[in-house]
Amino acid sequence: MDEYLMVKGIVCPLCQTKFNTTKVKTTKLRMTDRDTDFCTYYKDINPYFYEINVCPECGFAFSDSYTHSIMDEKADQFKKEISSKWIRRDFGGVRDMDQAIETFKMAITSGEITGAKHSRLAGLCLRLCWLYRMKGDKDEELRFMRWSVKLYEKAYQLEDFSGEKSMDIGTVLYLLGELNYRLGEYESASKWFNIAITKLTNAPEVSASKMAMIRDRWQDIREDIKRVL
């Protein structure tokens, strides 16, 4: 491994196979910029390339934060649909953009089959959208952004975010407003930012800094929409 990368041992949550994969050393990360939908840019190395682990034996793809308990019937379904056709591949080395994109698509498929939460699938779609942005593929960037919006909407309707560490209701509502704005869906953007401000102001589960971020971004977007319209 070079100075930016390290090898990490992983256990597949589906088939229990132990394998090695590559991760970026967090001490080497140097952020250079960040978009308003949280897409972050780094100097020298892109950690998104190595976010997804891919089991070389069964083909199950997942992130380090994956904690979902896979029911036996879902595991059997994955083995039938994916593992039975899987040709052993090792994604454990150095990855390029196209390989990173492939791993995220595999993670989305893995999550869909095994019953991952809508919010988790939405996050995977959003990261895939970012990779296509970095690649300069606008059509695919917007395609996965739309998919992410649909999944975050389902998450807002169906999921309980109390006690969640990886995602909170403020972030979900912010992203629904932000992503709709980026898609040119100004009425939807307005709706979600207004819901966020109406429902979350003084809510104990949402930090003051998160509310300030929501209000500031909504102010900027309102000004932009006025200029466009």
pLDDT tens sequence across 76-116: 999 999 999 999 999 999 999 999 999 999 999 999 999 99
- Judged against a pLDDT cut of 70, whether residue 1 lies above it is answered with no
Q: What is the DSSP letter of 227?
A: H
Q: Are 212 and 170 in contact (CB under 8 A)?
A: no
Per-domain boundaries in the chain: 1-159, 161-229
Vertex 44 angle, CA 28 and 5, to 5°: 50
pLDDT category, 164, cuts 50, 70, 90? low
* Of residues 174, 169, 179, the one with CA closest to residue 126: 179
What is the predicted pLDDT for the residue at 108? 98
pTM of the model: 0.94
Predicted confidence band of residue 174 (pLDDT cuts 50, 70, 90): very high
Which of the two residues, 165 and 60, has the higher pLDDT score?
60
What is the CA angle 53-7-1, rounded to 5?
Answer: 120
Which of these ranges, 59-63, 158-162, 206-210, has the smallest mean pLDDT?
Answer: 158-162
Beta bridge partners of 18: 11
The tokens describing 163, both together, are 């006690």
Assess whether pLDDT exceeds 70 at residue 42: yes
DSSP code for 85: G
CA 80 to chain centre: 26
